[in-house]
Amino acid sequence: MTRLASLLATAGMYVLTGLAPAGAAPMEPASAQAADFTEHDFHFSDGATLPDIRIHYVTLGTPRRDAHGEIDNAVLLMHGTTGTGKAFLAPAMQRELFAPGQPLDTSRYFVVIPDGLGRGGSSKPSDGLHARFPHYGYGDVVEANHRLLVEGLHIHHLRLVLGTSMGGMQTWMWGERYPEMADALMPIASQPIAMAGRNWLWRQMIVGAIRNDPGWQGGDYAVPPTQWTRVMPIFTIITNNPARMQSEAPNRDAATHLYDTLVDDAGKNDANDVLYWFESSWDYNPAPELSKIRARLFAVNFADDLINAADLGVMQQAMKAVPNGAFVEIPETVQSYGHQTLAHPEVWKPYLVQLLSDTAKAH
């Protein structure tokens, strides 16, 4: 396996693709506590209802209560499109974010990391309903996380909401839906506009490959379909810095081996789950309601991120509507990994430190 394939398997793919092999799970911090919360009578935005859904989550640190008995040190972290909360348990995240003296030092903060609806240990199509599982949208993922906090953990205010990729998109939505609930918002590697252009085209390549795979059988397959996996390397193309890819796969044999590795890794995922991951962005369009955001928001993007192309000028226009917002587009450097720079907190951590400082108030 090339170093690029190894990196994707152990770090970057946790964030966006969820294609990490089972043995690559990072060691959890000593304070990590995992649990499941059952949410009853869940109404989906497509009109469907399930009597129960399960949200799996991990917490780090200990809740601290104010004079009124309310938890006042909670932080919500939301992962990428096909990853799980394990993205935030990777060694780099633990070292750069949660260790003593770091910005989310778990001796100071109570960190909540859910597996988003449809992913990981949370309710998803592969649990048994297959294509009869409600066609959830990003709004449903946000609502399920909100119910986990309020009903499950009795958290009514957040010090910070931070999300990467899809989690970044949901951070914009969070600020609009619950404008008074968080002090600070940090969407990373996302743009607050509806899916369109290149960002929609590559997702449709995957959706179309699954729906047109002869083995998919309308989602009721007995034998997992495999033809669709041949399209999945589009992920690596769209989410990684091209100079790094050229360096790690410098000749045809190396690039072919990388392709075969990525196809094999894709086949470790359930086709229905993957289909829902990409179709769930159908309701994403925070642009019309950006003015509802009241928390301090600092967005971080990367100049070499092909998914959230800086040359579209999206952020320059969108941020005009955010009352208390700012953004940065980090230039391409030797530390760049394209979209996957989100898995390298050493690059964007200084902006998190500044955001927490700016919103410190009485904390």
The model's pLDDT over 102-114, given as tens digits with 9 standing for 90+, comes to 999 999 999 999 9
To the nearest whole number, what is the mean pLDDT of the chain?
92
Q: Is residue 301 part of a domain?
A: yes
Residue 6's pLDDT is what? 39
What is the predicted pLDDT for the residue at 258? 96
- Classify residue 274: in a domain, yes or no: no
State residue 16's pLDDT score.
34
Does residue 317 form part of some domain? yes
Q: What is the pTM of this model?
A: 0.92
Per-residue pLDDT at 22: 34
Would 114 be classed as within a structural domain? yes
Residue 324 sits in which domain range?
24-194+289-358
Query: Does the pLDDT at position 3 exceed 60?
Result: no
In a domain, 143, yes or no: yes
| pLDDT at residue 363, rounded to an integer | 53
Q: What's the pLDDT at 289?
A: 98
Query: How many whole angstroms separate alpha carbon 75 and alpha carbon 81?
Result: 20
The arithmetic mean of pLDDT across residues 145-160, rounded, is 98
Give backbone dihedrals phi and psi of 336, rounded to 5 degrees, phi first.
-80, 145
Q: How many domains does the chain have?
A: 1
pLDDT tops 50 at residue 218? yes
Position 4 pLDDT exceeds 70: no
Say what the pLDDT of residue 1 is. 40
CATH number at residue 158: 3.40.50.1820
The residues pairing with 53 across neighbouring beta strands, listed in sequence order, are 39
| 92 domain residue, yes or no | yes
Give the pLDDT confidence of 59-96 residue by residue, as tens digits.
999 999 999 999 999 999 999 998 999 999 999 999 99
159 domain residue, yes or no: yes
Average pLDDT over residues 2-8: 38
Q: For residue 31, what pLDDT band results from cuts at 50, 70 and 90?
A: confident
In a domain, 259, yes or no: no
